[in-house]
Structure 1
C-alpha cells in the first residue's frame, strides 16, 4: 500500500546572501561648510557688482572725458572717446590757464594736507596713546567728549569757527584752513582703540624697568607697533583735508589761497556768468589730476590701512 506524499507550500525566508534583491542605497552625506572656505552667495555677488558699477562707471567717465576737447564733450558719447585725443593738451592747458593758477592751487592743497592732516595725525597718535595706556582723572569725560565730537558733522562747526577766526583776524589766510584741520575726533578715537590692542602693557613695563623714559618708550617701543594705525589715520585725515570744500569756501576770499576743490568749483562757475569762459574740459581734466594722488596713496599703503581697520576686530 502506497503512502500518499503531501506537499506543503511553506514560505521560507529568502536567503540573505545572493539572489536578485539589491542592497539598499546609502544616502550621500551633505557637504559641511568648512571654516576656511567661505560660502557663495548670489545675492551678495549681485550687490557687490552693483556697488562696483556705481563706483567704477563715474571714474571711467572722468578718464574718458578728460581726453576730449570742449566741443568733443558735446558731440560724443559720454562713455566713449571722441575723434580727437586731447588728454595731453588738456593737461597742458590746465596748468597754463590763468597764469598757471592750477599749480598754485595744487601747492596750497599740499600745504594744507602736510600741515593740517599731518598735524592731526600726530595729535591723534599722542592723544590716543595717552588715553589707552595711562590712567588719570576725567578719562571717562574725555571719552564722552570724543564720541560726541565724532557724531557732530564738520559743516555744523564751520560757521562758529568762521566767527571765532574773524574775531582774531585769521580769515582769508591759510591758517584758517590749517588750524581747524588739526582736530580729528575720529582719528583720535581710532588711535585710542588701536593703541589699546596693539601695545602690550608688559612691553611698556619691561621698557620702564630697563630705564627708558616715557618719551623714549613711546618713540622706540610703541610707535613702531602703531604703524598700521598711523597710516590708517593719516589716509583718513589726508582725504578729509584734500576734499575739504565748505571750510575754505567760507574762510578764503583770495583765489591765490584756494585749494583744488574750491578752485575747480570757481572754474565751473564761469560758465554761468555773462562773458565767462566755458572750460568744462579743463575742469574735468583738473578733477582727474586731483584724484590721482589719492588713488596712488591708497594703492601704495593698502596693506597698512587694511590691517589698521581690522585691528581689535578679532578677539584672541
Structure 2
C-alpha cells in the first residue's frame, strides 16, 4: 500500500484575489500613503476655498459699495465711511429722483440700452450660429480662409474700428441714429468662432444625413436640429454680447450727439461730468449705476442654468 505524499498547506492555499488586482494594489498604496479613494487633501481644499473667497470678494465688494453709496445723500456720501450705511437710508428716494430727473431721461437711456443690447445680442447670436454651423458642416472652397479672417477679427479691439465706422456711417447719413450703435453690434467674431467649434464637435453628421433622407431642407435642419444642439453655445454668445453692448461706452460716444439716443452708460457719464457744479448729481449717478446693473443680473440668473448645462455636457455618459 503506497501513501501519497502530503502537500504542504501553504502550497494548497489559493492566493488572495486582490494580490493580482492592480486596483487593489493602488488602494493599498494610497492607504499606506495615508489617503483613501474618496478623501481629499485638506490643505488643497483650504487653498481652493480661499481662492474662491478672494475671487467672490473681488466681484461682490464693488456691488456692495454701489448699494451702500446709492442709499446715501451727497453729504453722507463723503461724510460717512464708504462701506457703512449712514443713519438715514434714502435708497428709494434716490431711485425715484433718477427716474424723474431731466423729465425722465434716465428711463429713455435705459430703454435705449435694452434696444441696443437686447436686439443686438439676439441678432448677433443668430448670425454667429448660422455662420458657425455653415463653417463647421459644409465643405466649400475658401472655408479655411474665411475662418482665418474671422479669427483675425477676434484680435481687433472695438476701439480701433470706432473711428472708421463713424466716417463710414457719416457718409451714409447714419451717424447720430439708432443704427449707428445697433449695426456694429450685430457682428460677433468671437461668437462665430465659438459656434463653429461647438457645432463641429457636437452635431453629428449622421444626424444631418438622416434629416436630409427624411426630406428636410437645409434651413429646416439648421433651425430644428442645429439650433437646439447649439443652445449652450448660443446662451454663452448671447450673454457675452449682451454684457459687451450694455457696457459699451466708446462707440456711442463717437457715434451719438443727441442725448435722447444715449445708452445708460453714456448718460451716466454725462451726469457724472456735472457733479463739480451740481453735487446732487452724485446721488443720481450712484443710484443710476445700481439700477443699470439690475437687468444684467436678471439676465444672468435666468440664463445661467443653460450656461452651466453647456459646460458640463458630455462629462457624464
Q: Shift in Å at residue 38 of structure 1?
A: 5.8
Unaligned ranges ≥5, structure 1: 1-26
> Greater Rg, structure 1 or structure 2?
1
What is the TM-score normalised by the length of structure 1?
0.85
Q: Shift in Å at residue 244 of structure 1?
A: 0.7
Distance 1:33 1:260 in 2: 55
Tell me whether 1:294 sits opposite 2:296 in the alignment: yes
Give per-residue Cα distances to partners, 1:155-209, cap 9 Å, x unaligned.
1111111111111111111100001001100111111111112211111000101
Change (3 A) 1:37 1:265: farther
Count of aligned pairs? 287
Distance 2:70 2:197 in 1: 42
1:279 to 278, 281, 305: 281
Distance 2:237 2:243 in 1: 10
Tell me whether 1:59 sits opposite 2:66 in the alignment: no
Change (3 A) 1:244 1:52: same
More helix by share: 2
Change (3 A) 1:39 1:148: farther
Partner of 1:151: 155
Distance 1:134 1:84 in 2: 64
Partner of 2:274: 270
Equivalent runs, 1:114-125 vs 2, <5 Å: 114-125=118-129
Partner of 2:239: 235
2:252 to 248, 252, 260: 248
What is the TM-score normalised by the length of structure 2?
0.85
Give per-residue Cα distances to partners, 1:24-59, cap 9 Å, x unaligned.
xxx96124464x766552444333322222211111
Unaligned ranges ≥5, structure 2: 1-28
CA contact (8 A) 2:71 2:89 kept: yes
Distance 1:148 1:57 in 2: 36
CA contact (8 A) 1:95 1:102 kept: yes
What secondary structure does 1:270 align onto? coil
Partner of 1:186: 190
Distance 2:306 2:140 in 1: 31
Partner of 2:223: 219
